[in-house]
Every structure is written in C-alpha cells, then in structure tokens.
Chains A and B, each alone.
Chain A
Amino acid sequence: MKKIMICGLLLILSVGLVMAGTTITIKGSDTLVRLGQRWAEEYMKHNPDVVIQISGGGSGTGIAALLNGTTDICEASRDMKDKEYKLAEEKGIKPYRVSVALDGIAVFFNEANPVKELSFAQLKGIYTGAIMNWKEVGGEDARIILYGRENNSGTYAFFKKKVLNKEDYNEYTQTLPGTAAVVNAVSKDKNGIGYGGIAWAKGVKFAAVRKADADPAVLPSVETVSNGTYPISRELYWFFNGKPTGELKKLVNWTLSEEGQEIAKKIDYVPLSKEGALANTVK
C-alpha cells in the first residue's frame, strides 16, 4: 500500500514538473545513452524548469522515432542511411545533424604479444581470415584467435564498414556479449585479438594502427581520437527535425561548450576538438 502511495505521489510530482516547464525527449544509440544521461542531469541542474527524458534502444530505433515525430532529439552512432533520408523527406522531416562527441575503436592484444602495430590491410586480413598466423604480421608462430562482438552491435557494424570494407568477418570469430567480455577474453588468451571502445583497457594492450602502409602507426587515446590522427574513429551525432531553436538550441550548444565536452571526457567519451565543437555549434 505504501509503495502504491509513493508511486502515485511520484507520478503526480512528475506530471507537475512536466507541466511546469519544457520537456525534451531524447532517444537512440546505446553507445551515447550514458553520455546523454550525464548531460541531461547536469543541464537540468542548471535549468530546473526543463525536463529531459532519455532512452536508448539503438541508433535505428532513435532515427525511426525522429521520423515518426515521437522524439525531439535522436542520438545516433552513425549517419542516417540514404533510405532513411528519403523516408524523412516523404514524411516532411528535415533532419539536422550535429556531432556531439567522438568515439574511437581500439584493437586489443594480449600483453604478452610482441606485435605492436597493424595496418588497415593487416587488420582486414586478420579479421576476414586471409591472415591466420601471428608470424605473418611480425609475431610468434601461432594461430590468431579472433574475438569480436555480436552482429547486432554498432561497434561490429562500424568496424566492419571502416576496417573490413564491408566484407564478412571470418566465421571463426568468437563473438562475445559486450566489450568488457572481449577485453577479458583477450587478457587471458595469449594469441587473442579483439576490438572495442578505447575506455576499456584492463589487462590488455592497444595496437597502434596505421591507415595506409606509409602512414605512421598511432596508438588510440583521447588526444589522438580527438585530433583525428587515430584512424578508427567515428563521430557521434544528435539529429533534430529542422535547425534547433529555443530550448533545444540552448541544450545542444551547451553540450558543445567547454563544460559539456569536459563532462564527456570525464566519463570516457572523446570530446570534439575545439574547432570541431565550434563548427557544430548552432548559430
């Protein structure tokens, strides 16, 4: 009974809050949802009359919600597909894209592995099965054991597009639920290789990656992703219906401010470069 009363009270309270000010709904990418939540908490602290509701569900879910008009802001870890842009046009939605943060995908080795760097071509060979032995990339004579993510993961899709040129992963790739599991597996498997967000590095070492064979190999870090020298990185977006105005504009410009980007950095996302943040700020 007490519980019901508390629930009822909360409900009334929340309705009251919603009615008092502006409500902003944000929906989409699971990669971004943690950052969105932190931003929302901070923003609501500064602006008590604004209520921000955040939910995840994946980039695709968020984009669908934007097209159906059920969300104000869509978070996405990828750009909209041509098909989605066309659908938006049909529905009279004008997607407006803002980069709010960056995300780097690191390649992990076991700490005992003597290999230090890989080129895109080598990475592609390893993950498509053309290169099967560490010997071929300067390591010991041992079979390369592949770890990856399930095929519903955004990281899976991004790595496949960026590094494998959309070719299929080798069928021997062991797919694991979550980056933490990949890191754990590689930390225990001398001949393992895996990929995932750069914030996860307990017990494994990062591979330095070069895009073309002549490029210098770069280790992933907040700095190298932020200044664009680390090659396996992506922008994380917020989509609006039309150029944001009023409270929405205030919110997005705040996330791009020094304060907003600092919050991103604090919880292990990669902030935009100063120029990048400025270029994305809504005028």
Chain B
Amino acid sequence: MNRLKFKSKSKVREFLGEKLIAINALAALVAIVLIFAFIFKEAIPIFTDQEIQQEASIAKMTFKQEFYEGRDPKWSWQPNSEVPKYSILPLMIGSLKAALVAMLFAIPLGIGAAIFSAEFASQRLREIIKPVIEMLAGIPSVVLGFFALIVLATVLQNMFGFLFRLNAVTAGVALGLAVIPIIFTVAEDAMTSVPSSLRDAGLALGANHWQVSLTVVLPAALPGSAAGVVLGFGRAMGETMIVLMASGNAAIISSSLTDSMRTISASIAAELAEVVFGSAHYSVLFYLGTLLFVFTFLINLGGELAVTRMKQRLQGKLS
C-alpha cells in the first residue's frame, strides 16, 4: 500500500519535473531564435530601404568601391566620413586573423596542459593545475584586454620589434589566454574519461607511458578535444573587449600578423552606442551582428558534425 502511494506521488512529480526542465531547455532555444530574429530585423532595411541601399547595399559592402572619382577602388571601413564607407572585408580579415593567432597560441598550450594534467600529473598536482587554469576563464575579458594594452603590447614589441604596438599577434595572444581554459577543460575531461582498460592494454603490450598517451589516449579523446577547439574558436571570433583594447582597431586589408587590425565584434561594440537609430550605419552594424551570429553558428554546427563522425569512426561504425 505504502509503496503504491509513493509511486503515484512520484509520478506526478516526475511529470512536473520533466516538463519543467523541458521548458528550461525550450526557453534557451526560444531566446536564441528571438535574439536572432531581433538582430536580423534591424538589418532588414539594407535589403529593402532604397535610401539606405544608396549608402550601404550588399554589393557596396562586399566589393571594391571607387569612393572618390579618379581614385583607385578599394575596400574601406570609414562609417563616420563625408562619404561613408562600409566594406566588411577588412573586418572579416581582422576577426579571422585574431582568431587564427589565438588558436595557434591556445591549441598547443591547452591540449598540452590537458595531456599533462590527465596523464602525467600526480593526483595532488592535478588538483592544483586544473582549478588554476580554469580560473583563467573567470578573469573578465576587459581586464585581459587592459593587461594586453598596457603590459603585453610593450613586452611583445620589445621582444619582436613590431612596428605597430597593437597588432594581430598582441590581440591574438590575449585572446588565446581567454580560449585556453575552454580547450583545456573540454580536452582534459575527454582524456580522463578514456577507459583505463585501454591504457592498461597499451601498457601490457609493452608501450611506455608516453606512447600510451600519444597513441592510445589522445586519439581516443580526439572528438572531445576537437569539440573544445571548436568552442574555443567560436569564443575567439565573438570575443569583444580584448580585441577592442588590444588590436589597434585599424580596418586594414593585410595578411601580415604584425599590422593592426579591426574585428567585427569590436566595431559593433565601439560604434553601436553613438549611432543614429535607424540610419544606414545602424543597419550595417546589425547586419554585421547577423553575419557574426551565422558564422559562429556554422562553425559550431560543422564542429559538432565533425565530432560525431570522429566518434563513429573511433567506435568502428564508419569505415
């Protein structure tokens, strides 16, 4: 009797509980859809409004423009000009450059630290390393940006003799500091969750610790590590304060990592507060937001797919 009563009561609770967390999950989904709809809505005038299209149509934002008669056509981002110029290419290049440097800096460090922490560190050491690296993620990005602006820029310039104090390398390294904990945490979790039977099998076959780590654990943890890298890249693309402070914000088309650069996110942050509501500049900034949103979404989606495939391959389901 008693048991039955308990069961019926718990069923109601289970039902309610389940619905509640379903609502939570849906709320996040709805919020994202609504945010995207709002951002896109503000960008729509670019496609519909004649007046705004004269200043900033998709073609004008994408292709080289002859802004002044007789001068060479070029890409340029000068929204507060007599002839407003809204080329997106320099900003795209800036965002990618910063993210690239950040990843070059953060992947080896993040994965390396993860291998050490998961495979080689003693239990005690690991209990220190892990929280300390994860604490990096808790530093507000404006603090990291300020550190890069005041300290890191000087150190790097003296070390490598950069012509421009603030450049893609400075911004990328600072950005890397924000990305390392993401890669580290995800990769480390993936490595520690590799079954110890795999390790034991490797060791039993005569492989040493190093060989087991690199040829057994690392490949088995690859999907997880890759997920960390993808998440980190998304963060690097979207991060704002660090690049706003440390990149120099110069919208230049250049492949050199030692030139200053300007990212999409920093442009939005710097310009949105002062822009006239409903102007071409306003719509362009929201269009940039839409691009950034779509871009990060695609990267995450692509990463997710790649990770799934990798998992299947590791499990032998895919030839």
Asked if A and B bind, the verdict is: yes
Task: Determine which of A151, A156, A188 lies in contact with B165 in the assembled complex, contact meaning CB atoms within 8 Å.
Answer: A188
Residues of A within 8 A of B276 (CB): 60
Task: Determine which of B77, B78, B250 lies in contact with A174 in the assembled complex, contact meaning CB atoms within 8 Å.
Answer: B250
Cβ B274 vs Cβ A60 within 8 A: yes
The B-contacting residues of A in range 84-140, CB under 8 angstroms, are none
**Interface assignment of B136: CB less than 8 Å from any CB of chain A:** no
Q: Choose among B77, B90, B245, B248 the residue with the greatest number of A CB atoms under 10 Å from its CB.
A: B248
What is the number of residues of chain B that contact chain A, defined by CB distance less than 8 Å? 32
Q: Contacts A145-B164, A174-B260, A177-B245: A152 and B250 contacting too (C-beta < 8 A)?
A: no
Cβ B81 vs Cβ A150 within 8 A: no
The A-contacting residues of B in range 83-130, CB under 8 angstroms, are 85, 90
**Interface assignment of B76: CB less than 8 Å from any CB of chain A:** yes
In the assembled complex, the CB of B69 is this many whole angstroms from the nearest CB of chain A, namely 15
**Interface assignment of A143: CB less than 8 Å from any CB of chain B:** yes
Q: Which residue of B lies closest to A160 (CB)?
A: B80
Cβ B245 vs Cβ A174 within 8 A: no
Cβ B245 vs Cβ A151 within 8 A: no
In the assembled complex, the CB of A145 is this many whole angstroms from the nearest CB of chain B, namely 7
In the assembled complex, the CB of B77 is this many whole angstroms from the nearest CB of chain A, namely 8
Q: Chain A interface: which size bin?
A: 20 to 34
Q: Which residue of B lies closest to A142 (CB)?
A: B163
A151 to B77 alpha-carbon distance, docked (Å): 11
Cβ A150 vs Cβ B165 within 8 A: no
| Residue interface bits A148-170, CB-to-B below 8 A is 1, else 0 | 00111000110010000011110
A121 to B79 alpha-carbon distance, docked (Å): 24
Cβ A184 vs Cβ B81 within 8 A: no
| Residue interface bits B240-263, CB-to-A below 8 A is 1, else 0 | 000011001111100000011000
Cβ A174 vs Cβ B165 within 8 A: yes
Cβ A143 vs Cβ B163 within 8 A: yes
Residues of A within 8 A of B259 (CB): 172
Cβ A152 vs Cβ B271 within 8 A: yes
**Interface assignment of A171: CB less than 8 Å from any CB of chain B:** yes
**Interface assignment of A181: CB less than 8 Å from any CB of chain B:** yes
Task: Determine which of B78, B244, B251, B274 lies in contact with A177 in the assembled complex, contact meaning CB atoms within 8 Å.
Answer: B244
**Interface assignment of B82: CB less than 8 Å from any CB of chain A:** yes
A151 to B81 alpha-carbon distance, docked (Å): 10
What is B's interface to A at a CB cutoff of 8 Å? 76-82, 85, 90, 149-150, 153-154, 163-166, 244-245, 248-252, 259-260, 270-271, 273-276
A-B contact pairs, 6 of them (CB 8 A): A150-B249, A152-B274, A168-B81, A169-B78, A172-B259, A174-B248
